[in-house]
Amino acid sequence: MKDIAQRPANVGKFEDPFLTADGSARASVPLSRPETLWFNTGTLCNIACTHCYIESSPTNDALVYLTLDEVRGYLDEAEVLGWPLSEIGFTGGEPFMNPEMVAMARLALERGYRVLILTNAMQPMMRPRVREGLRDLVAEFGDRLVLRISLDHFDEERHDEERGAGSFARTIKGMEWLRDTGIRMAVAGRSLWGDDMAEQRTGFARLYARHGFEIDADNPGETVIFPEMDLGAEVPEITTACWGILHKAPESVMCASSRMVIRRKGAERAAVVACTLLPYSPEFELGETLAEAARPVQLNHPHCAKFCVLGGASCSA
């Protein structure tokens, strides 16, 4: 995958896990409150977006499908460790490409967790077998199941610019099915076009009203507008002094409360990484077990600064 050290921006930065380019102590984040455990179900996707941070596509199987047994093993370990998890998240790729997605969601719901599935709500989700499974899940578990729909923009033309012609219409069709089935939805938009945030939320509110979607456009937990993650942009490094300067605490950063399970192509076993944004960076792979992955994370990547610390974003609900 892309090597940030070769880019003209950030030259000399993000090289030493413990020191910034000017020799200051790099900030780190301990796992202080493990609330969300993510599972990357595989990087295969039914579409190839122009700016996909994980480069998902119909051919990218760099992260292979996780299995139901692997998910069960990590949920078992979390219980043994006494992690106070409240949410299990599934991301991809497109999670509904994974043939065991519905079974994995059921397992987590049966154990009492909230389940968040990130999806484009297109053809993989709309297969009859998947729809039948989702109907059963909402009938049994109600609002503890949430599907967060990737709807990059409320404007069809802009959304399709990122995801391909006709994508917006297919996603809206999937959302209408979710609405009619009574499945709770959230939306993940993007700031790719530099829109004013208030105008963007107003646009989403109009879209929701037009289609009868019960989604709050002003609630950042229901309509998430993610900052862009351009590795070519100049980004400041986060030092230990930044917490006081920015009036932020390490506990507010995503890796204080979550970890993600992946399995790399060719690997014998799954592994645990620091967060959903950095599955390809080996320095953020923390071990094969949750116990190994409980160690602090050094904020040694531009995403740590731009997305989490400065952008204030989180992938959780």
The residue to which tokens 């760099």 are assigned: 62
- pLDDT computed for residue 312 by the predictor: 60
Q: Residue 161 above 90 pLDDT?
A: yes
Quick check: is 94 in a domain?
Answer: yes
The residue to which tokens 């998890």 are assigned: 85
d(CA 246, CA 236): 13
Quick check: is 275 in a domain?
Answer: yes
* Average pLDDT, integer, range 12-20: 93
Q: How confident is the model at residue 317 (pLDDT cuts 50, 70, 90)?
A: low
Q: 67 lies in which domain range?
A: 31-236+251-297
Element housing 243 (H / E): helix 242-246
d(CA 198, CA 201): 5
For residue 119, the Cα-to-chain-centroid distance in whole angstroms is 10
- pLDDT computed for residue 191 by the predictor: 83
Q: How confident is the model at residue 231 (pLDDT cuts 50, 70, 90)?
A: low
Instruction: List, for residues 178-214, the tens digit of each pLDDT value.
Output: 999 999 999 999 887 778 899 999 999 999 999 999 9
Q: Residue 6 above 60 pLDDT?
A: no
Q: How confident is the model at residue 8 (pLDDT cuts 50, 70, 90)?
A: low
d(CA 105, CA 43): 18
CATH code assigned at 51: 3.20.20.70
Instruction: List, for residues 80-135, the tens digit of each pLDDT value.
Output: 999 999 999 999 999 999 999 999 999 999 999 999 999 999 999 999 999 999 99
Q: Rounded to two decimals, what is the model's pTM?
A: 0.92
- pLDDT computed for residue 227 by the predictor: 77
**DSSP secondary structure string for all residues of 83-111:** ----EEEEESS-GGGSTTHHHHHHHHHHT
* Average pLDDT, integer, range 164-173: 97
- pLDDT computed for residue 19 by the predictor: 96
Quick check: is 218 in a domain?
Answer: yes
**Spatial CA neighbour of 123 closest among 58, 184, 70, 192:** 58
Quick check: is 13 in a domain?
Answer: no
CA of 146: how far to CAs of 183, 244, 303, in Å?
7, 35, 26
Quick check: is 312 in a domain?
Answer: no
The residue to which tokens 């192509």 are assigned: 265
When divided into structural domains, the chain yields a total of 1
Q: How confident is the model at residue 2 (pLDDT cuts 50, 70, 90)?
A: very low
Quick check: is 41 in a domain?
Answer: yes
Interior/surface letters 227-250, b for 16+ CB within 10 angstroms, e for the rest = bebebeeebebbbeebbeeeebeb
Quick check: is 120 in a domain?
Answer: yes
Quick check: is 167 in a domain?
Answer: yes
Q: Residue 4 above 60 pLDDT?
A: no
